[in-house]
Structure 1
Amino acid sequence: MHRLYPFPFVLRTTSPHSRRIPAFTPIRNYTSQNELTPEDLEAVRRRRKTEWKRRQGGQNFLDHLIVNIRGGKGGNGCAAFHREKFKPFGPPSGGNGGRGGDVYFQPTPHLTSLATVPKRIRGHPGGNGQGTWQNGRAGEPLIIQVPLGTVVRELPRDDPRRAQDEWEAEEESLEGLTPAEKRAKMRDNRWVHYPRSGEDNVGRDTFKQAEAALYQQERERRLARKKRALQEPLQLDLDSVEIQEQPVDAPLGIRKPEQLGSLIASGGLGGLGNPFFLTPDNRSPKFATRGQEGERITLSLELKILADVGLVGMPNAGKSTLLRALTGGRVKSEIASYAFTTLNPIVGVIRVAEDGTFEGGIEQGLVHQETLIEKQLEHDMMTSGSYATAFTRNQKSKGGVDPLGAPFTSGHQFDLVETFRFTIADNPGLITRASENVGLGHSFLRSMERSLALAYVVDLSAPAPWDELMVLREELEKYQPGMSSKARLVIANKADLLGTDGGSVAVEEARAKLQRLETFVRTEMNVHPRAGPGFAGEEPVRCPLDVVAVSAKYSQNLQPAVSLMRTYIEQARNRLA
């Protein structure tokens, strides 16, 4: 019997900013908080963590973003004259302004979301020139780190989301002004005058000639920018980390090349000091130019997770548990009893040895080498052959031996020599009409586009796991035609009963359900042609799906699944090579 009971105390944590539990929390009928057991406290903690995660709503994961970027503004030139003792009228000595900083995108494997990328990016400005021929310092390059798999596209000029470039912004600021006011403001944006010389400079022929040349350069630069945006818009596929190595025969003292990434927006040029305008007709120019605005560009960033194998399944199918088991617990994916536990794709790395064992299971002792005993092998040959009974952990601790002759000992650590490596992604669950952006929608369908192979994960304990398969395939096809052709494996999870000796009604029902699932896959799921991305130009062929029953919770029968995944990846890599 439960009731609402005041629960005013604070959980004991190492942080001084502990949050209080809600004033009314459903707990057991206790007369004093001192009678609360550790199990009750743990239940409350889990309940609060569950509610907190539900309130997040995927805010920490972002896979699509519109970014406005400006290169750094160039520094202003200086209008100055050199002065020394006994030389009151020295030559012009104003320095040039420094160049504005460029903006780079650098892909990194340490990020898995675009949430850390700011929506407005501004490059560092260049320093202003000073007297005595001192040029301004160039702005530092700004490096924005983005996750691997980020696709960068420049928005077209007719897109309403595109921000104005530097010339369009100036035109908007001049609206409503008279022609004289427009001319004065445009000159103020481009020129620096020596003190008390502005009005005199405007009337000089040398200044008018320099002003006409400056406007001509701006027109040419603007036309070149438009032409590039129309013919060669910026499109980048940041799917690998660029490593620039210094030649071994490089001279000593040469700096190593900096890992900047891909250039996105160039900084503006620095302004010219007044010595630049020195001519035989103008021996004392009293004007200099301001620095140019940096390049402005609006980009659409789209994150597509790079993983060799993507797990596709309904909510609570056990994908997170499976990823934990395959990686030996190194990937801390969230596991809970409510739907949409996983709010963003999580990628794990699986290292495989020559004999087929993989690092996660061997090191952590969670995923064990599965074996075929004679009795179960005989039964599987008569039925499906998709599940192999495994030794339990207690049997292994007693000194069992697998068919390969490797003894199972408790706590034994194996030295794995890696011969193959691949990545596997735990994608959030799909639901009906996910292709129409229902539920978590396109955000997580997008993360599966680049996987070399897809693996359906279904709950074998569900009443009709074959219905889940049909929904998953239809949503993939609706989102992107041909995408379901990447599916190569069906993992029937939560097949715990199949690892027992059998004889009970529940075990026989589980085996019958598995056999029906295999029949359904063989007759209904293997009829579509292989026509997805990466298969262009090939003749349509049938793409059979393999079925493997596993128990991710108890780490049973994972070895065949890893072996099949390795085969699919090797085939896909050879095809794309």
Structure 2
Amino acid sequence: MMLSCGIYRKEALHRANVLCSRFILAQLFPASGSPCSVRFITSSITSKPQNPEEKRTEEDEEAFRRRRKTEWKRKQGGQTFLDHVIITVRGGKGGDGCAAFNREKFKPYGPPSGGNGGRGADVYIRPSPHLTSLSSIPKKIRGENGEHGQGTWQNGKTGSPLTIHVPLGTIVREIPLGDPRRAKDEWEAEEEALEDLGLDERKLRMREKRWLHYPGAGEANVDRESFLDAEAALYKQERERRMTRRRRALNNPIYLDLDKEELLERHVDAPLGTKQKESLGHLVASGGQGGQGNTHFLTTENRSPKFGTRGQDGERITLELELKLLADVGLVGMPNAGKSTLLRALTGGRAKTEVANYPFTTLNPVVGIVRVAEDGTWEGSISGHEVHDETRIEQEQQHSRFLTGDYAFARTRNEKATSDEYLGKMGRGHHFDVYETFRFTISDNPGLISKASENHGLGHSFLRAMERSPALVYVVDFSVENPWDELIVLREELEKYQPGMSSKARMVIANKADLLAATGDEHDVMAAKDKLRRLEDFVANNMLLPDGRTLAIVPTSAKFSQNLDRVVGLMKEYVTEARQLC
């Protein structure tokens, strides 16, 4: 009883706080008397309007909700899609050496026995076909440190190498010297930490970072000539290593084009039973060398060295990762031109693209696979002319179930059909896998808008996705009044982003051609043919390729899979030609 009273009291206090907050807001904003207007003011405050004195309009609220929805849709599997990121990579720090002496029975003063520290871990980068975004890569990456050396001549363990997995098509660039985005290296970071210290304090800190002493021998070591000589040699090695690193960064910075999966082939002369090791990838940051034990400083003049060195810091480097999707054919078009519907139709429904009757439904690039058989048929063509529209498909399925009384197959979207049902409906598609002889990939890129080359909206992200495709295909909405105006905008944006990029275009797909003659009226059919003829004349006169070829014009209806056989045949020719040139 007392527990229930306590819970009731907490709920009552919570409701009182809410009512009090609403009352205060109503007093501050007397124009909003209803609870709905109070909620509106609260959302306006959290969304940070440009002018706090002005009340947000309904248009501003709608724009704010659209932005929030756009950010939510750009998330894939709980992670935000990223195609450009800057990361800081540090190799592992080397383990410290050890200053120790061997002590055994009847040997109270044994020889030096301090082991060396283990080397820090190296950091590699390797492309992986299982990744599609850079969102899983952390901004700061550090390799494993080496273990410290120990007495009785025990050396420390080397840190395990670290491999950064990135998607195929990633370009890795080293941020050059002088760029404000570049993080400080190990020497610059040390100089910054010692900047405000005096000369004596700075010298003491530098020695503490580089040297370790046998217990009780620190003050005596710094006055010995053997220690001073070793210290001078150590600083000389550091200067040489720093100058070598700087020359490498200026003359030969890291640049990797990871467009192929790296496979480590087994050598034919390898002994039987040898394990196949996986390729680590490309080395980007070396681990620091381990510190040296006191056994390293044993000489005829110094028979009992009581000092050793600490491990060196790993190499620090700042990398720029840029993902450019690898697809044989890239679809280029304005928003809501039907690119997603086209990709879904060409892949037989395997590509999970969003299809809706509003622009910017595709916010992240999607890559699908088109599989072609020896006789020219492709996966999407063997099951007939399907309707690639989710709303219409659901309506037709419900209508057919209502007419036939077959409610057993009225499953939800998450339920799976049995194997017999699947083979009965898609048996030909299942048998198609055996006769596949050619395949290529198509990327459904988000729609381009005017000034996309100036990075308006997400222009550079969209254009970057199609930059690596050897063949581009324009997709225009044939149902608009002047579809050739879309071609002008698309070509200009491609050229502004990268000169010569529009020369990779090979075909113009006039999508949504079914909307012009949907009524079947002879006048509408003649108007559609005249419009197609004008589009062909415009392309022939204004969009010639550098080699003199003209772009092919193919009117299609991706929604009803009409005239897609010719599209697949032409794409296969373009991909074959591009692969032969490579």
Distance 2:320 2:161 in 1: 21
Decide which moves more: 106-115 or 245-254: 245-254
Q: Kindly state the Cα deviation for residue 315 of structure 1 after the two structures are TM-superposed.
A: 0.4
Q: What amino acid does structure 1 have at the position aligned with 2:285?
A: A
Q: Is the 8 A contact 1:346 1:426 kept in 2?
A: yes
Partner of 2:171: 151
- Distance in 1 between residues matched to 2:426 and 2:180, nearest whole Å: 62
| Equivalent-residue separation in structure 2 for 1:294 and 1:84 (angstroms) | 37
| Structure-2 residue corresponding to 1:32 | none
The answer for the alignment partner of 2:493 in structure 1 is 475
1:241 is matched with: 261
Note if 1:566 corresponds to 2:572: yes
Q: Quote the offset at 1:500 in angstroms.
A: 7.2
Cα distance, 1:138 vs structure 2: 0.8
For the structure 1 residues 58 and 106, does the alpha-carbon distance in structure 2 shift closer, same or farther, using more than 3 Å as the test?
Answer: same
Give distance in 1, aligned partners of 2:379 and 2:498.
Answer: 34
Question: Residues 360 and 214 of structure 1: is their aligned pair in 2 closer, same or farther, counting only changes over 3 Å?
Answer: farther
Q: Is the deviation greater in 358-367 or in 324-333?
A: 358-367
What's the counterpart of residue 82 of structure 1? 102
- Equivalent AA in structure 2 for residue 457 of structure 1: V
Identify which of 307, 310, 335 aligns with 1:290.
Answer: 310
Q: Which structure carries more helix by proportion?
A: 2
By how many angstroms is 1:210 displaced?
0.9
What's the counterpart of residue 396 of structure 2? none
* Residue of 537, 548, 554 corresponding to 1:548: 554
Corresponding residue SS for 2:220 = helix
1:381-410 Cα deviation digits (max 9, x unpaired): xxxxxxxxxxxxx9xxxxxxxxxxxxxx97
| Alpha-carbon shift at residue 445 of structure 1 (Å) | 0.7
Aligned to 2:186: 166
* CA shift for structure 1 position 412: 5.0
Over aligned residues, Cα RMSD in angstroms? Answer: 2.3
CA contact (8 A) 2:516 2:524 kept: no
Matches of 2:237 and 2:146, distance apart in 1: 20
Please, what TM-score do these two structures have when normalized by structure 2? 0.78
Q: Structure 1 58/367 Cα, relative in aligned 2: closer, same or farther at 3 Å?
A: closer
Report sequence identity in percent. Answer: 64
Superposed displacement of residue 64, structure 1: 1.6
Pair 1:107-2:132 in alignment = no
1:495 is matched with 513
Which residue in 2 is equivalent to 1:56?
Answer: 72
Matches for 1:282-321 after TM superposition, within 5 Å: 282-321=302-341
- 1:115 is paired with a residue whose SS is coil
1:252 aligns with 2:272: yes
TM-score (norm 1): 0.79
In structure 2, distance between residues paired with 1:410 and 1:560: 26
Tell me the residue number matched to 2:528.
Answer: 510
CA separation of 1:171 and 1:52: change in aligned 2, threshold 3 A = closer
- CA distance in structure 1 between the partners assigned to 2:360 and 2:275 by the alignment: 49
> Unpaired runs of 5+ in structure 2?
1-34, 37-64, 389-399, 401-423
Per-residue deviation, 1:70: 0.7
Name the SS of the counterpart of 1:107 in structure 2: strand
Contact 2:121 2:161 in 1 (8 A): yes
Alpha-carbon offset, residue 94 of structure 1 = 1.3
Give distance in 2, aligned partners of 1:519 and 1:411.
42
Per-residue CA deviations over 1:500-553 (Å, capped at 9, x if unaligned) read: 794444333333322322222222222xx42xxxxxxxxxx2131001111111
Helix, strand or coil for the counterpart of 2:558? coil
Q: Is the alpha carbon distance of 1:436 and 1:497 closer, same or farther for their aligned partners in structure 2, counting shifts above 3 Å? A: closer
Count of residue pairs brought into register by the alignment: 479
Give the drift of 1:341.
Answer: 1.2
* 1:439 Cα deviation after fit: 2.1
The structure 1 residue matched to 2:252, chosen from 221, 227, 232, is: 232
Structure 1 residues without counterparts, runs of 5 or longer: 1-22, 25-48, 369-393, 395-408, 531-540
Say whether residues 1:271 and 2:296 are aligned partners: no
Distance 1:189 1:283 in 2: 25
Q: Alpha-carbon deviation of 1:161? A: 1.1
Q: Residues 497, 411 of structure 1: CA spacing in aligned structure 2 closer, same or farther, 3 A cutoff?
A: farther
Structure-2 separation of matches of 1:511 and 1:181: 86
Give distance in 2, aligned partners of 1:358 and 1:83: 79
Aligned to 2:160: 140
Q: CA deviation at 1:426?
A: 0.5
Amino acid across the alignment from 2:70: R
Correspondences of 1:204-219 after superposition (within 5 Å): 204-219=224-239
Moved over 6 A (4+): 49-52, 498-501
Secondary structure of 2:574's match? helix
With over 3 angstroms needed to count, the CA separation of the structure-2 counterparts of 1:570 and 1:223, relative to structure 1, is same
Q: Secondary structure at the match of 1:214?
A: helix
CA contact (8 A) 1:329 1:364 kept: no
The CA deviation at 1:497 is 5.0
3-state DSSP class of the match of 2:311? coil
